[in-house]
Structure 1
Amino acid sequence: MSDSVTSANRLLSILKNGIFFLAAVLGLLVSIFFAVSFGAKDITLHTVWSAVADYNPNITGQQIIHELRLPRVLGAAVTGAAFAAAGALMQGVTRNPLADSGVLGVNAGAMFVVALSFAFFPHLSYALLMVLSFFGALASTALIFFISAAGKGSMTPLKVTLAGAVVGALLHSLSTGVAIYYDLSQDLAFWYAGGVSGIKWAHLQVLVPVITVFIILATFMGRSVTLLSMGNDVAANLGVNTALTRAAGLMIAVVLAGVSVSAAGAIGFVGLVIPHIARKIVGVTYRLIIPMSALLGAIPLILADLASRTVSPPRELAIGIMVALVGVPFFLYIARKEGREL
């Protein structure tokens, strides 16, 4: 009897999660549709469909859809998915609910390298800039964990968060100094504020495969990350190599964050907020949290981009500002909640 009840509960759980994932996919598709269809210039839905199904570069409306809106919307989707998946992975392997590539200073490391690249190597290809952004994010991550592990006591989530804030502030100041000294403020304004208007089809040819592969890798790590999130002792007793899992998880998260920063700038809080929402929907299993975070993370960036170019046309607002309006209060709420628990 108990076995049949257990099987029924498992089947019900699978069905429920399947419905949640289907709803997330539909929400993503609807967001893409609205973001491509609407903007500063009014374009008919027939023109939008023609630009996707039968593109004619000689028609201005189709050209706007195909060359401007579609790549930036898809760019917002993949970078939002990457930031959210990176945040979920970081929260799992560090057991830190405040973990996020922006909060922990990982984005700042990638941004610093972008600033140096603009100053000393202005003609770098996008693929090489992506690689350098990854190494910048990796270096800042290593510095953050070195600082948080130094001194007395163990490496607690609070120490990691504080170290990330300090390193992030330092690297942001250095990036600003480089931009001012080399007169790059205008060029780097896009990356500082965050935005996807500069993403073209050539960028997507690199972005989409890299981000897709590493989100899949992160999902495959889901079981080990779930056990690790329960504590080192629990994970080790169940056969998980905790050091290897933590290192691999952080490496994948750094790749996702570094690649996204090279395309869309240092957009924060997506990786902080979205994994908490995903956890409420699908539970504590990271095999489900990571892909759900990726799906949900794409939606707010798409909508933020749509709002940025429709609120005050023809001027555009920064995506990072709109995301921060939601992200900052959520961060303060989580920080206060964790502070009470500590």
Structure 2
Amino acid sequence: MQRRQGLLRILLWLSPVLFVGAVLLSIMYGAKNIHPSTVWHAIFHFDEGDVNHQIIMHSRLPRAIGALLIGAFLAISGALMQGMTRNYLASPSIMGVSDGSAFVITCCMIWMPGGASSLEMIAFSMVGSALGVAIVFGLASLLPQGMSPVNMAVIGLIVGTFLSGVSAALASYFQISQNVSFWYNARMHLMSPDMVKWAIPLGVIGILLALSISKSVTVLSLGEDISKGLGQRTMLVKLITTLSVVILSGISVALAGKIGFIGLIIPHIARYFVGLDYRRIVPVAGVMGALFLSLSDLISRFLNYPFETPIGVVTSLFGVPFFLYLIRKKGGGNHA
């Protein structure tokens, strides 16, 4: 355990350097490689007439920052969901949260043909996240053993598939399939700079909520009876936790579409290093999630160079084996 904590301290101390390095590598490498000196001049001496400067400031820098934000947001969301439900399979991509966001965004594009602003799109995505959470947990509470990890995962996948199918049907009928495909295929290279600007302050609110409730989530993860016995207002804790998940997941989908498995994998890795205290799990998961998605984004550019591989393919390469491993190791019972 001491060795794990030592490695973790090194990671956390180096995290600012790693974040800067991840951003720099993300800007430099892609279909067209850019020299570090050009990156420096673009950031500190921007020239609108320079094509490389335009690429850096309007495409690659927002993408690099967005990857860090999304990775952190999804990892924190997954950690909160796992702690709140005592479900080791809980994550935004599996529990229908991301599909709910994409569904509402599809409806928004149909009934607001003039287009929505970046802030409005994030808001609609949050509404969709809340819808996905409500449907999945509502159905799970009505079914026998519905709250068990495997059953909830199945319900989440069914609800997600249903919402995706309805979205595809609506998009086809109203002839917007090409526009909607962005939110279902996670195209990192189409990151909106304006949306990234809104995502930062809104994401800070979501993270502060997560940190403020993390101690209560630790108690709740021990079981609802224990939590109530200690005088905790469990319903209030669940509401604040859900609000944080809705905010962070909604922002993530609005920025780059559905990206799977980060909220499943990273919280388990963080828990392996820091134990069961969510006051530590939440920030550590955020750091690890940010670095994981940044690394995955870089890998996606070189798997089929010079063409990009969808980021969901890369995260699935890690996520699917991990998902099957968890089911085999822990079975279908509830776990803290």
**What's the RMSD between the two structures over aligned residues?**
2.3
Query: Structure 2 length as normaliser, TM-score?
Result: 0.92
Any idea what SS the aligned residue of 2:188 has?
coil
Unaligned residue ranges in structure 2 (runs of 5+) = none
1:48 aligns with 2:39: yes
- Residue 185 of structure 1 is matched in structure 2 by 177
Asked if the contact 2:150–2:327 (Cα under 8 Å) also holds between the matched residues in 1, the reply is no
159, 173, 179: which is aligned to 2:165?
Answer: 173
13, 28, 31: which is aligned to 1:22?
Answer: 13
Asked if the contact 1:218–1:290 (Cα under 8 Å) also holds between the matched residues in 2, the reply is yes
Any idea what SS the aligned residue of 1:316 has?
coil
1:229 Cα deviation (Å)?
0.6
In structure 1, distance between residues paired with 2:101 and 2:192: 20
In structure 2, distance between residues paired with 1:314 and 1:17: 35
1:142 Cα deviation (Å)?
0.8
In terms of mean alpha carbon deviation, does 149-158 or 293-302 score higher? 149-158
Q: Deviations over 1:240-266 (max 9, x none)?
A: 211111121112112211121111101
1:103 aligns with 2:94: yes
Asked if the contact 1:193–1:265 (Cα under 8 Å) also holds between the matched residues in 2, the reply is yes
Change in CA separation of 1:239 and 1:26 when aligned onto 2, cut-off 3 Å: farther
For 1:211-250, list aligned pairs within 5 A.
211-250=203-242
- Residue 130 of structure 1 is matched in structure 2 by 122
1:334 Cα deviation (Å)?
0.8
- Residue 276 of structure 2 is matched in structure 1 by 284
Asked if the contact 2:150–2:332 (Cα under 8 Å) also holds between the matched residues in 1, the reply is no
Asked if the contact 1:20–1:281 (Cα under 8 Å) also holds between the matched residues in 2, the reply is no
1:17 Cα deviation (Å)?
5.5
In terms of mean alpha carbon deviation, does 100-109 or 234-243 score higher? 234-243
54, 67, 74: which is aligned to 1:63?
Answer: 54
Asked if the contact 1:193–1:321 (Cα under 8 Å) also holds between the matched residues in 2, the reply is no
Q: What percent identity do the matched residue pairs reach?
A: 36
1:101 Cα deviation (Å)?
0.4
1:315 aligns with 2:315: no
1:341 Cα deviation (Å)?
6.0
Asked if the contact 1:308–1:317 (Cα under 8 Å) also holds between the matched residues in 2, the reply is yes
1:257 aligns with 2:249: yes
In structure 1, distance between residues paired with 2:6 and 2:323: 32
Task: Name the amino acid aligned to 2:17.
Answer: L
- Residue 141 of structure 1 is matched in structure 2 by 133
In structure 2, distance between residues paired with 1:340 and 1:155: 10
1:235 Cα deviation (Å)?
1.8
1:35 aligns with 2:26: yes
Task: Name the amino acid aligned to 1:327.
Answer: G
1:115 aligns with 2:106: yes
Q: Deviations over 1:196-230 (max 9, x none)?
A: 22223211111111112211220121110111111
Task: Name the amino acid aligned to 2:106.
Answer: A
In structure 2, distance between residues paired with 1:252 and 1:149: 21
- Residue 261 of structure 2 is matched in structure 1 by 269
- Residue 333 of structure 1 is matched in structure 2 by 325
1:290 Cα deviation (Å)?
0.8
